[in-house]
Amino acid sequence: MKIGVIGLGSMGYGIATSLLRSGHNVYGADINPEAVERLRAEGGSDVDVMSAAPELNAAVIVVLNAAQTETVLFGEHGLVPQLAPGAVVIMCVTVAPDYARSTAERCAARGVYFLDAPISGGSVKAAEGKLSVMASGKPEAFAAARPVLDAMAETVFELGDGAGAGSAMKAVNQMLAGIHIAAMAEAITFAMTQGIDPGTFLEVIPACAGTSWMLENRAPHVVAGDYTPRSAIDIWPKDLGIVLDVARTSRFAAPLTAAALQQFICAAGMGLGREDDAAVAKVYAHNANLTLPGTSQNE
């Protein structure tokens, strides 16, 4: 297949290389030209995505948010009007369900299939082709997207024949993920106030009932003092903001989500937005006058 991947950050780049390994022709696009050149060096096409658009079988959208997605698909140089009928747009971006439904309708008006397909698993699983995909869309969209999904995902949850269901499930996942990261940060720093060093915390808690996948994945970053961004702080004000917008529309109170969101906003305000999201622990450490491993007291 001829597949365009728009957005070559940590997740999009992993998807692109997984597609290459599966033998597909991959056309990359990103605002960072170095990412595009890196993909081309690994076997990606030298042709830019817009030039190849009429021949693409699929376009995988892995940009930051709905605004960027809108520009990519329907902006002044939008991709959808350039795609041939029968091509499929696979949107992997975390957006509100209503936006996914609107996008599906506009793609259909052009004869283009649309799959609402947010992803989970992080950059490592993206690079391994082992993501989880929460997908919804018409059977024809699933059929058109199947070779792409087979290359990028270990598990594909088929959540219905209407766009929006995939994005709704991603909102549920992000609610839990954001809360769990903040809870990890709160717990590991609380442990420090009780004389428990982070290394001991990490040895004990994963073997106990209080653990979570996020704790086991992010706490090692705190213990190592390594905040190289696998998933950045700046992602969470956006994603938890979407969760709360959806909750508000449904008249559903989500106080734990709101509390977690405030911690990520505080971390961003401290200048930590580009750091790994485990750096939310620095908010707690700062407030409690604690020094985390690998940091100074003022950090």
CATH number at residue 101: 3.40.50.720
Q: What pTM was computed for the model?
A: 0.92
List 138, 170, 238, 282, catalytic entry: 170
Joined tokens for residue 47: 């042709």
Structural domain contains residue 221: yes
Torsion of CA 279, 205, 261, 276, to 10 degrees: 20
Range of the domain at 157: 2-162
- The DSSP symbol for 79 reads S
Question: Into how many domains does the chain fold?
Answer: 2
Place of tokens 């283009």: 112
Residue 273 has a pLDDT of 97
Distances from the Cα of 170 to the Cαs of 92, 157, 184, 204, 280, in angstroms? 10, 11, 21, 30, 22
Structural domain contains residue 299: no
What's the CATH number where 260 sits? 1.10.1040.10
Question: Where among 133, 162, 191 does a domain terminate?
Answer: 162
Contact criterion met (CB below 8 Å) for 66 and 96 = yes
**CA-derived radius of gyration, the chain:** 20
Residue 299 has a pLDDT of 64
What's the number of CA atoms in the CB half-sphere (13 Å) around residue 125?
Answer: 13
- The DSSP symbol for 91 reads E
Residue 123 has a pLDDT of 86
- Is 282 annotated in the active site? no
Cα 251 from Cα 67, distance rounded (Å): 25
Contact criterion met (CB below 8 Å) for 43 and 13 = no
Residues of the chain with pLDDT under 70: 297-299
Question: Where among 141, 162, 183 does a domain terminate?
Answer: 162
Number of H helices, E strands in the chain: 13, 8
**Which parts of 100-172 are beta strand (E)?**
113-116, 119-120, 131-135, 153-158
Same domain, 116 and 16: yes
- What does residue 291 show for φ and ψ, rounded to 5 degrees? -115, 115
Cα 173 from Cα 160, distance rounded (Å): 17
Same domain, 65 and 137: yes
Residue 298 has a pLDDT of 56
Mapped onto helix, strand or coil, the DSSP state of residue 237 is: helix
Same domain, 179 and 157: no
Amino acid at 73: L
Same domain, 116 and 10: yes
Residue 297 has a pLDDT of 60
Residue 68 has a pLDDT of 96
